[in-house]
Chain A
Amino acid sequence: MNRVVKAIDRFGRAKFIIAAFLFILLMIAPIYGVSRVSTINDVVLRFAMNGVLVLSMVPMIQSGCGLNFGIPLGLISGLLAEAIIMEYNWTGAAGFIAAMALGALIGAILGIFYGYLLNRIKGDEMVIATYVGYAIIYFMNMMWLGLPFKNPASVQGYAGEGLRVTISLDKYWSHVFDRWPSFQGEGLVLNIPEVVNGQQTVQNLRIPVGTILLFLLFCLLIWLFFRSKTGTAMTAVGSNADYARAAGININRMRQLSVVMSTSLAAVGMVIYGQSYGFAQYYTAPQFFMFPTVAAILLGGAVLTKATISNVLWGAFLFQAVLTMTPSIINSAIELDISEVIRMVVTNGLIVIALTRKVRKNG
């Protein structure tokens, strides 16, 4: 018994409970007429879509800047990049890659200022980051209306100016990497026979190979970075800033670098998300990424000053699984829409737990 508890502790309790919960949901799905295959299909797709966003949390956590509630700064960089690339009518894989590159660039520039700000308010990063996050969303609400975009696909039809709330990426780069290696057609689709509601059906399991590989590539790059000399220094800054300073590390520069990396990655993550989703969402949409992304990496087992790639992978997977499985299965089961409640409890509960841990450590 003790050994089981220890094994669970090593894996992480929160992770274990959620994983067990999801496993039970998956097991009981057929009883309520929900297809297991399509459930898994959704989870895999959303894992690939959100992965890089979760990954973008890592540099700032590692450097001691805490959970990046200012992620909207990166998200709007990605959105801006998408709008600009669409303006120049770049389509397909080329347009997608160009949007990622431009997004990363804009994110880096904003990250420099954001990092400068966070260096001036050491200790309160997360509070200020939340303000920055909300502020930039509403500031950009004005910008999306005012910026001189002209592409009919992206501006509001009746006015001829101002970006639409939701822009379809169909003619641009929606699903280009999902369908890799062919970049066209349907990509990798497995047809799996399954009995749903007593009827023999064939369910599609779509694997977004290209997007998953892209996500893993970014994971590899970040993993490598944290094995480099600079990455080691950044980790030390997060672990004990006084120690790092005594060792001659420029703490502020390391923190700023981590903020630039996080913001750039978030921009890239946003472009990837749009690619998989098929739409770019403007205006208040970035708001809905703040807490879920933070909660995802916490669910993966990250703490306020330590996050690993395995935290990212587990977090992205488990959190998206909660998000996709609870509406379909629980709602069918109890015929009551409590999925939103469960999401809220999981998302905000995880953040609260993480924040209380910080206080205990300091005190």
Chain B
Amino acid sequence: MPLLEIKNVSKDFDGNVVLKNISFVLDEGKVLGLCGENGAGKSTLMNILFGMDVIHETGGFQGEVILDGESVSFKTPVEALNAGIGMVHQEFSLIPGFTAAENILLNREITKNNIVSSVLRSEKLKTVDMPAVFESAQQSIDALGIKLPAESVVSELPVGYKQFIEIAREINKDNVKLLILDEPTAVLTESEAETLLHSIRSIAARGISIIFISHRLREVIEACDQVIVMRDGLIVADYPTDEIGEHPIGKIASWMTGRTVGESVADEARDLTKEKKIILSVKNLWVDMPGESVENATFDVYEGEIFGIAGLAGQGKLGIPNGIMGIYPSTGEVIFNGEPHELNNPRKAQQNGFAFVSEDRRGVGLLLDEPISWNICFNAMQIQGLGIKKYLGIPFRHEPTMNEVADKYIDELQIRCTGPQQKVSNLSGGNQQKICLAKAFCMEPKILLVSEPTRGIDVGAKELVLDALRRYNKERGTTIVIVSSELEELRSIADRIAVVTEGMVFDILPPSTKSAYFGLLMSGEKIEGEVI
């Protein structure tokens, strides 16, 4: 009997469609593996299921969610919890100073009457029955198959155990019918992950259905009865695990990355490694960027090429450009144009001909409260003196020049705005991104580092941004290093693509490589000789 049925669910954010007609069925006591690249729509789907604020704040969703035969539409996570959906998030939501048991039964403590509560007939004044709490928690922990006393204080436990406590908390609820695990194994060691997969099976055996989201495809195959692959807001594959056939990991990877037919994207890729000299040589780069740390990355970039950097979220691909530009502290040896490049000094980097388009557009990339002309010219002004006029030897800002420069780029990049004096905060994401590009172009760099240039902008603007980069590279021969979590985008623009896993450059491949192979590399698998 189906526990959960999703029927034709669609969702868009301000016209940007992220889910298109999603339909699937999950039976009671089954484990469903949900795979997909970043941005495929997994999180949005889970947010709909769990009634998160982001969904109805942005106008709700279309379609129907049927849980246990009833059509539901949760307005808040609390409603979802009451209906029997449990969710374990990637971030830990545990109170460090409490014991495992206290965390597991938080706000659902087992209580007994005392004098005050019996007289006042108040639920809130009852005494917590600690022995009962510990016993109940211990049962849930034991059900997961790990050895952990319920009295342990959370702050003293290794990371892996915290994940188990979160799961124990969810299964401790009597009414739980559906458990959503979002990347539960990401922080676990291999043996812990193994234990977790075991517990998933035993939870399912108790009749609880599970949605298991993971980038580790091997685990998905091992733990799940059914696999669903999402891409660009669509379900591209929905199979029982044993019907996938041979090379299941390779198959799932190719579904995830897409375009198994007609891989024509890489036609224009050039091989400049033979004819051109190395312009940027990075050796043993370490970058301390929270969530995206780079650990010992080594690679070379050749003059005039477009060098792509791919990788999953959190693996360190974003740390590379941020480290080279000095935005986050870094160590290592970087040689640019034959000269050693000073790390941790954004000013020096830009003086030497680097320019950077940050992935954090609103945080680092723009002065939201200032006009377009300021945003475009600021770096070039401070570093190279663009739009500066001296009076009595004092450098002053010359607005007419700045407006002229801004107008030129507004024209060239088709930035939709009312003029160079418009505030940047009033522009759409795509146009803001174009301003970030203009800011970098304006410095006439020798090498341009672009980080996630198309994140959060719609399809039309994506093409314009990529075209602008291609054109700039072609017309001026500027070397471009582009980091993106969208593999297809990299394959369509880059001459070579480096795959970053666990903070290191795992491999550098031509874009014509099969996307399934990229998918494998990104999930940390490198199977020598496996033919896909």
Whether chains A and B associate is yes
B-contacting residues of A (Cβ < 8 Å)?
224, 227-233, 235-236, 239-240, 242-243, 245-249, 305-306
The reply to whether B364 and A243 form a contact with Cβ atoms under 8 Å apart is yes
The 8 closest A-B CB pairs, nearest first, are A248-B347, A229-B395, A248-B346, A247-B379, A242-B364, A239-B367, A232-B397, A246-B364
The reply to whether A242 and B397 form a contact with Cβ atoms under 8 Å apart is no
A/B interface sample: 9 pairs, CB < 8 A: A236-B378, A239-B369, A240-B366, A242-B364, A247-B350, A247-B379, A248-B346, A248-B351, A305-B369
Q: How far is the CA of A295 from the CA of B345 in the complex (A)?
A: 39
Centre residue among B327, B356, B367 by max chain A CB count within 10 A: B367
Minimum CB distance partner of A250 in chain B: B347
Cβ < 8 Å to A, chain B residues 312-350: 325, 327, 345-350
Q: Is B382 in contact with chain A by the CB < 8 A criterion?
A: yes
Given A239-B367, A247-B350, answer yes or no on A227-B396 (Cβ-Cβ < 8 Å): yes
Q: Is B250 in contact with chain A by the CB < 8 A criterion?
A: no
Q: How far is the CA of A235 from the CA of B382 in the complex (A)?
A: 12
Interface string of B371-386 (1 = CB under 8 A from A): 0001000110111010
Q: Is B394 in contact with chain A by the CB < 8 A criterion?
A: yes
User: In the complex, what's the smallest C-beta–C-beta distance from A193 to chain B, in angstroms?
Assistant: 48
Q: How far is the CA of A249 from the CA of B351 in the complex (A)?
A: 12
The reply to whether B396 and A229 form a contact with Cβ atoms under 8 Å apart is yes
The reply to whether B378 and A240 form a contact with Cβ atoms under 8 Å apart is no
A246 contact set on B, CB distance < 8 A:
325, 327, 346, 356, 358, 364-365
The reply to whether A248 and B350 form a contact with Cβ atoms under 8 Å apart is yes
The reply to whether A236 and B396 form a contact with Cβ atoms under 8 Å apart is no
**In-complex Cβ contact of B378 among A230, A247, A306 (8 A):** A247
Q: How far is the CA of A243 from the CA of B367 in the complex (A)?
A: 7
The reply to whether B366 and A227 form a contact with Cβ atoms under 8 Å apart is no
User: In the complex, what's the smallest C-beta–C-beta distance from B376 to chain A, in angstroms?
Assistant: 12
User: In the complex, what's the smallest C-beta–C-beta distance from B207 to chain A, in angstroms?
Assistant: 42
Q: Is B467 in contact with chain A by the CB < 8 A criterion?
A: no
**In-complex Cβ contact of A228 among B363, B369, B397 (8 A):** B397
Minimum CB distance partner of A245 in chain B: B346
A242 contact set on B, CB distance < 8 A:
360, 363-364
Q: Is B370 in contact with chain A by the CB < 8 A criterion?
A: yes
A231 contact set on B, CB distance < 8 A:
397
B397 contact set on A, CB distance < 8 A:
227-229, 231-232
The reply to whether B365 and A243 form a contact with Cβ atoms under 8 Å apart is yes
B345 contact set on A, CB distance < 8 A:
248
User: In the complex, what's the smallest C-beta–C-beta distance from A150 to chain B, in angstroms?
Assistant: 43
Q: Is B417 in contact with chain A by the CB < 8 A criterion?
A: no
User: In the complex, what's the smallest C-beta–C-beta distance from A61 to chain B, in angstroms?
Assistant: 13
Minimum CB distance partner of B390 in chain A: A229
Q: How far is the CA of A296 from the CA of B349 in the complex (A)?
A: 43
B236 contact set on A, CB distance < 8 A:
none
The reply to whether A306 and B350 form a contact with Cβ atoms under 8 Å apart is no
B394 contact set on A, CB distance < 8 A:
228
New A-B contacts (9) at CB < 8 Å, excluding given A228-B395, A229-B395, A305-B369: A229-B382, A236-B367, A242-B360, A242-B363, A243-B367, A245-B327, A246-B346, A247-B379, A249-B347
Q: How far is the CA of A227 from the CA of B402 in the complex (A)?
A: 13
Given A246-B346, A247-B346, A247-B350, answer yes or no on A239-B358 (Cβ-Cβ < 8 Å): no
Minimum CB distance partner of A231 in chain B: B397
The reply to whether A240 and B358 form a contact with Cβ atoms under 8 Å apart is no
Minimum CB distance partner of A239 in chain B: B367
The reply to whether B368 and A240 form a contact with Cβ atoms under 8 Å apart is yes
Q: Is B22 in contact with chain A by the CB < 8 A criterion?
A: no
The reply to whether A248 and B382 form a contact with Cβ atoms under 8 Å apart is yes
Minimum CB distance partner of A305 in chain B: B369
User: In the complex, what's the smallest C-beta–C-beta distance from B30 to chain A, in angstroms?
Assistant: 41
A247 contact set on B, CB distance < 8 A:
346-347, 350, 378-379, 382-383
User: In the complex, what's the smallest C-beta–C-beta distance from A318 to chain B, in angstroms?
Assistant: 24
The reply to whether A228 and B370 form a contact with Cβ atoms under 8 Å apart is no
Q: How far is the CA of A235 from the CA of B375 in the complex (A)?
A: 12
Centre residue among A236, A239, A245, A246 by max chain B CB count within 10 A: A246
Q: Is B234 in contact with chain A by the CB < 8 A criterion?
A: no
Minimum CB distance partner of B348 in chain A: A248
A248 contact set on B, CB distance < 8 A:
345-351, 379, 382-383
Q: Is B176 in contact with chain A by the CB < 8 A criterion?
A: no
Q: How far is the CA of A306 from the CA of B388 in the complex (A)?
A: 23
Q: How far is the CA of A256 from the CA of B372 in the complex (A)?
A: 27
Minimum CB distance partner of B327 in chain A: A246
User: In the complex, what's the smallest C-beta–C-beta distance from B137 to chain A, in angstroms?
Assistant: 35
Q: How far is the CA of A294 from the CA of B374 in the complex (A)?
A: 28
The reply to whether B378 and A232 form a contact with Cβ atoms under 8 Å apart is yes
Q: How far is the CA of A242 from the CA of B327 in the complex (A)?
A: 9
User: In the complex, what's the smallest C-beta–C-beta distance from B475 to chain A, in angstroms?
Assistant: 25
A233 contact set on B, CB distance < 8 A:
382
Q: How far is the CA of A243 from the CA of B370 in the complex (A)?
A: 12
A230 contact set on B, CB distance < 8 A:
395
Q: How far is the CA of A235 from the CA of B388 in the complex (A)?
A: 16
A224 contact set on B, CB distance < 8 A:
396
A236 contact set on B, CB distance < 8 A:
367, 370, 374, 378
The reply to whether A239 and B370 form a contact with Cβ atoms under 8 Å apart is yes
User: In the complex, what's the smallest C-beta–C-beta distance from A237 to chain B, in angstroms?
Assistant: 10
B374 contact set on A, CB distance < 8 A:
232, 236
B370 contact set on A, CB distance < 8 A:
235-236, 239
A306 contact set on B, CB distance < 8 A:
369
Given A239-B370, A245-B327, A246-B364, answer yes or no on A229-B347 (Cβ-Cβ < 8 Å): no
The reply to whether A243 and B366 form a contact with Cβ atoms under 8 Å apart is yes
Given A227-B397, A247-B350, answer yes or no on A240-B367 (Cβ-Cβ < 8 Å): yes
A243 contact set on B, CB distance < 8 A:
364-367, 378
User: In the complex, what's the smallest C-beta–C-beta distance from B453 to chain A, in angstroms?
Assistant: 16
Centre residue among A233, A245, A247 by max chain B CB count within 10 A: A247
User: In the complex, what's the smallest C-beta–C-beta distance from A33 to chain B, in angstroms?
Assistant: 48
A245 contact set on B, CB distance < 8 A:
327, 346
Q: How far is the CA of A240 from the CA of B374 in the complex (A)?
A: 12
Minimum CB distance partner of B360 in chain A: A242
Given A228-B394, A232-B397, answer yes or no on A249-B382 (Cβ-Cβ < 8 Å): yes
Interface string of B384-408 (1 = CB under 8 A from A): 0100100000111100000000000
User: In the complex, what's the smallest C-beta–C-beta distance from A81 to chain B, in angstroms?
Assistant: 27
User: In the complex, what's the smallest C-beta–C-beta distance from A326 to chain B, in angstroms?
Assistant: 34
User: In the complex, what's the smallest C-beta–C-beta distance from B442 to chain A, in angstroms?
Assistant: 12
User: In the complex, what's the smallest C-beta–C-beta distance from A53 to chain B, in angstroms?
Assistant: 26
Centre residue among B345, B347, B356 by max chain A CB count within 10 A: B347
Cβ < 8 Å to A, chain B residues 69-108: none
Q: How far is the CA of A232 from the CA of B379 in the complex (A)?
A: 11
A235 contact set on B, CB distance < 8 A:
370
Q: How far is the CA of A283 from the CA of B378 in the complex (A)?
A: 45
B325 contact set on A, CB distance < 8 A:
246
Centre residue among A229, A239, A305 by max chain B CB count within 10 A: A229
The reply to whether A228 and B396 form a contact with Cβ atoms under 8 Å apart is yes
Q: How far is the CA of A246 from the CA of B367 in the complex (A)?
A: 12
Q: How far is the CA of A245 from the CA of B350 in the complex (A)?
A: 12
Q: How far is the CA of A227 from the CA of B394 in the complex (A)?
A: 10
B369 contact set on A, CB distance < 8 A:
239-240, 305-306
Q: How far is the CA of A300 from the CA of B383 in the complex (A)?
A: 34
Q: How far is the CA of A229 from the CA of B374 in the complex (A)?
A: 12
B363 contact set on A, CB distance < 8 A:
240, 242
Minimum CB distance partner of B351 in chain A: A248
B368 contact set on A, CB distance < 8 A:
239-240
Centre residue among B385, B395, B396 by max chain A CB count within 10 A: B396
The reply to whether A229 and B366 form a contact with Cβ atoms under 8 Å apart is no
Q: How far is the CA of A305 from the CA of B369 in the complex (A)?
A: 10
User: In the complex, what's the smallest C-beta–C-beta distance from B368 to chain A, in angstroms?
Assistant: 7
B396 contact set on A, CB distance < 8 A:
224, 227-229
Minimum CB distance partner of B365 in chain A: A243
User: In the complex, what's the smallest C-beta–C-beta distance from B139 to chain A, in angstroms?
Assistant: 40
Minimum CB distance partner of B369 in chain A: A239
Minimum CB distance partner of A249 in chain B: B382
